[in-house]
Amino acid sequence: MARLAASRPSRAEKKPFLTPRRREALTGYIFALPFIFGFLALTLGPMIFSLYASFTEYNIVNPPEWIGLGNYDFILRYDEEFRISLKNTIYYVILKTPLVISISLVLAMLMHIDLPGQRYFRTIYYLPTVLTGVAAIFLWVWVLNPEGLLNRGLGLLGISGPNWFFDPAWSKPGLIVMGMWYIGSPILIFLAGLNGIPTQLYESAEIDGAGPLRKFWNITIPMLSPTIFFLVVTNIIGAFQVFNSAYVVSTTAHASAGAPAQSLLFYEVYLYIRAFQHLEMGFASALAWILFAIVMVVTAIQLWLAKRWVYYES
């Protein structure tokens, strides 16, 4: 209001081009320019080029050569490694996501109880989440060594542990075990969700004689369903893009990406091999767009299913 009044007298004399309003708009636009420019030059432009490249044969050295749907046709109909990598990735997504969600929910519910040392638990469970580099992956290759810490622990329980990263049947479960170290964020997000549930709901359910299990299924789960939905969607998108851990594990333990026996050949590992070991940029671009389409379809299906189970208060 004050600004409007201030601008009036000057307008009577001579109308300046830069009214306060225009000046604000101009500043706003200039301040946002880093993002806008970056989006056009580093996101939109590359995406358009990548779409074009996916219809070509292109090795960077020579100019791209148009081959129409050739890459897509080969990948979807004949490419054995594509099929293996997609199967591995889906296996990983399907096994890992429910484990992440359920374990972090249980831990968050336990941490939600008023306990001594609550703060320390939060710190301990969150710490690994910040350690995403190669160093932490090395640590897990070592812990999951056939004679490593985990198998020693299992030995104490009378279980003889598998060979993990040296056994094609156990390498993906090994990677998932390692993934359970990184559930700090879902725990924190669940804790925030649990804090948002009004305690009166539980109190009145207790008066009606509901036991713990009834309260869990009829209050906690519906009230947390938006949180669960968010975590399921983001975790699935993330799991489809698994690369670092699989690549470092397989090159550390076997000096070959995707080993043993292609059991760690995940989608992005395969894409990396095609793009940066064989320099098949057109082919790899087609792979990237197929992954993008898969992730979009999976997310769309979840959005559609969400109407049936996600409960929003309104």
Partner 1 sequence: MPAIAGKEEARSVSVSWYQSRKRQDFIKKALAFIVLMLGAVMFIAPFLWMVSTSLKAQANVFSPDWIPDPIQWRNYPDALRSAPFLTYFKNTAIITLFATVGSVLTSSLVAYSFARLRWPGRDFWFGVVLATMILPGVVMLIPRYILFSQIGWVNTFLPLTVPPWFGGGAFFIFLLRQFYRGIPMELSESARIDGAGELRIWWQIVMPLSTPALAAITIFAFNGAWEDYFGPLIFLNDESKYTLQLGLTTFAAGGGGVPLWHWMMAASLVVMLPVIIIFFLGQRYFIEGVTLTGLTGR
Per CB under 8 A, which of residues 101..120 are in contact with partner 1? 107, 110-111, 113-117, 120
CA distances from 274 to 150, 267, 287 (A): 34, 11, 9
DSSP per-residue string spanning 111-176: HHS--TTHHHHHHHHHGGGG--SHHHHHHHHHHTSTTSHHHHHHHHTT-----GGGSTTTHHHHHH
Nearest distance from C-beta of residue 307 to partner 1, angstroms: 19
Q: How far apart are CA 35 and CA 195, in angstroms?
A: 35
Nearest distance from C-beta of residue 282 to partner 1, angstroms: 9
Nearer to partner 1, 69 or 106 (CB): 106
Q: Where in 76-105 is the site for partner 1 (CB under 8 A)?
A: none
Residue 27 lies near partner 1 (rule: CB under 8 A): yes
Nearer to partner 1, 12 or 113 (CB): 113
Nearer to partner 1, 3 or 83 (CB): 3
Nearest to 286 by CA among 104, 79, 91, 42: 79
Task: Tell me the window of 30-38, 66-74, 78-86, 300-308 that interacts with partner 1 (CB under 8 A).
Answer: 30-38
Record the tokens describing residue 290, joined without a space.
Answer: 């197929």
- Interface residue with partner 1 among 162, 184, 258, 260 (CB under 8 A) is 184
Residue 175 lies near partner 1 (rule: CB under 8 A): no
Contact pattern for partner 1 over residues 114 through 153, marking x by CB under 8 A:
xxxx--xxxxxxxxxxxxxxxxx-xxx-xx---x-x--xx
- Interface residue with partner 1 among 188, 194, 201, 219 (CB under 8 A) is 188
Q: Where in 190-209 is the site for partner 1 (CB under 8 A)?
A: 191-192, 209
Task: Tell me the window of 158-166, 217-225, 234-242, 301-309 that interacts with partner 1 (CB under 8 A).
Answer: 234-242
Residue 243 lies near partner 1 (rule: CB under 8 A): yes
Nearer to partner 1, 163 or 244 (CB): 244
Nearest to 165 by CA among 148, 183, 182: 148
Q: What single DSSP character describes residue 313?
A: -
Residue 45 lies near partner 1 (rule: CB under 8 A): yes
Residues 6+ apart with CB under 8 A from 125: 107, 111, 183, 184, 187
- Interface residue with partner 1 among 16, 49, 98, 305 (CB under 8 A) is 49
Q: Which residues pair with 66 in a beta bridge?
A: 56
Task: Tell me the window of 76-84, 167-175, 258-266, 284-292 that interacts with partner 1 (CB under 8 A).
Answer: 284-292
Q: How far apart are CA 51 and CA 66, in angstroms?
A: 12
Record the tokens describing residue 194, joined without a space.
Answer: 């649990």
Residue 303 lies near partner 1 (rule: CB under 8 A): no
Q: What angle do CA 252, 253, 259 make, to 5 degrees?
A: 105
Q: How far apart are CA 79 and CA 274, in angstroms?
A: 12
Q: How far apart are CA 88 and CA 78, in angstroms?
A: 17
Give the residue carrying structure tokens 């983001």.
Answer: 234
Nearest distance from C-beta of residue 314 to partner 1, angstroms: 21
Nearer to partner 1, 40 or 305 (CB): 40
Residue 252 lies near partner 1 (rule: CB under 8 A): yes
Nearest distance from C-beta of residue 217 to partner 1, angstroms: 15
Q: What angle do CA 285, 291, 295 make, to 5 degrees?
A: 145
